[in-house]
Amino acid sequence: MKRQLPKRHDLAPLLKFKKPELSPKRRRLEKALTIEDLRRVAKRRTPKAAFDYTDGAADGEVSLARARQAFGDVEFVPSILRDVSEVDTSREVLGRVSALPFGIAPTGFTRMMQTEGEIAGATAAAAAGIPFALSTMGTTSIEDVAAAAPAGRNWFQLYMWKDRERSMALVDRAAAAGYDTLLVTVDVPVAGARLRDVRNGMTIPPTLTPRTVVNAIPRPAWWINFLTTEPLAFASLDSWSGTVADLLDTMFDPTVTFDDLAWIRQQWPGKVVVKGVQNVADARRLADAGVDAVLLSNHGGRQLDRAPIPFHLLPQVVKEVGADVEVHLDTGIMSGQDIVAAVAHGAHFTLIGRAYLYGLMAGGREGVDRAIEILTGQVERTMRLLGVRSLDELEPGHVTMLERLGPRT
């Protein structure tokens, strides 16, 4: 083999150095290639009580594990030799176009995770052209979210309180602020047994204990932000000095029925989505009642442990009511592949909760942007690899469900 010294012009293309990124935050976010990567960053940077509030679920956390495993048990069936140079990820959702087949789900106590809270989520969603849902348990007011993202599409999530007048006052404020969709959450007659929160002494505001202080030492940025910004509180509620579970049990109403839902429907001028549907019969009854969409959800596994897996329930509900109402889905989504699988399985739209919060905890608004960017790239790449150019081309034939959990006959 003949050898020679390399020439300068041959070496030049091989010796291109990446421009160094001086921002530690941007370096962290650039290295995060998946939502799980963002989760690991979030865990390092967030005190245990706040992280566990996001990361945890009810009782033995079986529902959450099963929901994620259901997506892991998907086998895709790609088609080849298709022109996928361009893919369209947009979809009309409740009368308006969303640039992507997912939006940001309502999450409570969000500024506890990272001080930018709901503002980061709403502005990132607006920039991406997707909906953002504000929770009744949000830590930024209805009006402040609307002001921060005036061009965004904002939804409001409602828990029915025992005090109906206070509930409807929130609904009126959301309508006045331009929110176009109401997500009525119906799976919280009482709080789920969120054992991580109990063990961590999760209170409002956070309780300082020796263990809390020790856990905070390696996370000074979180504490500096927490102590030097507006005091944490639920923006839609009066002050509260107990645990999160105590607040939920005090506020939520176990007497809510379909009649209450009809009463809400009469007073809300926009679209109505019912969140927390977990069986076909309830989906049918809601469709007959005239709601605009049903959202299959077991509350991210945070309410009834061992509840039905929304992704497994999806085909039955779509078959029953898909021609009458939009069928949306959340719980367990951690990747763009999960979103594509849900759409192929019949979901009209999906919502992400923890995936967005991991980005928020990892890097504030930039972290939320990164989470959306990761999911977008995964959605687009999966569509191309399946050989589809639009969401409407996705169909059940693109997905095989590998059997792991199923009812015993």
- Coil/strand/helix, residue 206: coil
Rounded to the nearest integer, the mean pLDDT of the chain is 89
pLDDT of amino acid 5? 77
299 part of the active site: yes
Confidence of residue 142 (pLDDT cuts 50, 70, 90): very high
Report the pLDDT averaged over residues 274-279.
96
Indicate whether 241 pLDDT > 60: no
pLDDT at 74: 95
Name the residue range of residue 229's domain. 24-401
HEC sequence for 83-108: CCCCCECCEEECCEEECCCEEECCCC
The pLDDT of residue 205: 58
Residue 128's φ and ψ, nearest 5 degrees, are -85, -10
Could you give the CA distance from residue 406 to residue 215 in angstroms, rounded to a whole number? Answer: 41
pLDDT band of residue 19 (cuts 50, 70, 90) is confident
Number of domains the chain is built from:
1
Residue 245 sits in a domain whose CATH number is 3.20.20.70
Instruction: Find the catalytic residue in 9, 299, 312, 345.
Output: 299
Residue % of the chain over a pLDDT of 70: 91
User: What pLDDT is stored for residue 246 in this prediction?
Assistant: 65
pLDDT at 176: 95
Whether 52 is in a domain gets the answer yes
- Beta strands at 153-158 and 131-134: parallel, antiparallel or unpaired: parallel
Q: Where are the alpha helices (DSSP H) in 100-140?
A: 110-113, 117-128
Consecutive H or E run containing 294 = strand 293-296
**pLDDT tens digits, one per residue of 47-71:** 988 899 999 999 999 999 999 999 9
Q: Is the pLDDT of residue 239 over 60?
A: no
**226 vs 298: CA distance, rounded Å:** 31
Q: Is the dihedral of CA 286, 296, 89, 364 positive or negative?
A: positive
**pLDDT score, position 217:** 77
- Reported pTM: 0.91
Q: Is residue 234, in this structure, part of any structural domain at all?
A: yes
pLDDT for 200: 80
Spatial CB neighbours of 90, under 8 Å, sequence gap ≥ 6: 97, 98, 99, 100, 391
CB-hemisphere CA count at 13 Å for 112? 25
In a domain, 293, yes or no: yes
Mean pLDDT of 29-39: 96
pLDDT at 38: 98
Judged against a pLDDT cut of 70, whether residue 238 lies above it is answered with no
Q: Give the separation between CA 127 and CA 129, rounded to whole angstroms.
A: 6
Structure tokens at 129: 């052209």
> What local confidence, expressed as pLDDT, does residue 166 receive?
80
- Number of helices (H), then strands (E), in the chain: 18, 12
Is 71 contained in some domain? Answer: yes
Whether residue 235 has pLDDT greater than 70: no
Confidence of residue 236 (pLDDT cuts 50, 70, 90): low
Name 148's Cβ contacts closer than 8 Å, sequence gap at least 6. 119, 122, 123, 140
For 99-138, what is each residue's pLDDT tens digit?
Answer: 999 999 999 889 989 999 999 999 999 999 999 999 998 9
Does 2 map to a domain?
Answer: no
pLDDT tens for each residue of 173-227: 999 999 999 999 999 888 888 888 888 877 655 666 677 667 777 888 887 888 8
Tell me whether residue 4 is in a domain. Answer: no
Q: 337-340: which pairs have CB atoms within 8 A and are 24 or more residues apart?
A: 337/71, 337/74, 337/76, 337/378, 337/382, 338/71, 338/74, 339/101, 339/102, 339/375, 339/378, 339/379, 340/101, 340/379, 340/382, 340/383, 340/386, 340/394
Establish if 142 belongs to a structural domain. yes
Token pair in block for residue 15:
């010796």
pLDDT of residue 266: 87
**Domain-embedded: residue 3:** no
Q: What is the DSSP string of 143-192?
A: HHHHHH-TTSEEEEEEPPBSSHHHHHHHHHHHHHTT--EEEEE-S-SS--
Angle at 153 between CA 394 and CA 182, to 5 degrees: 90
Res 387 pLDDT > 80: yes
- For residues 214 and 152, the model is more confident at 152
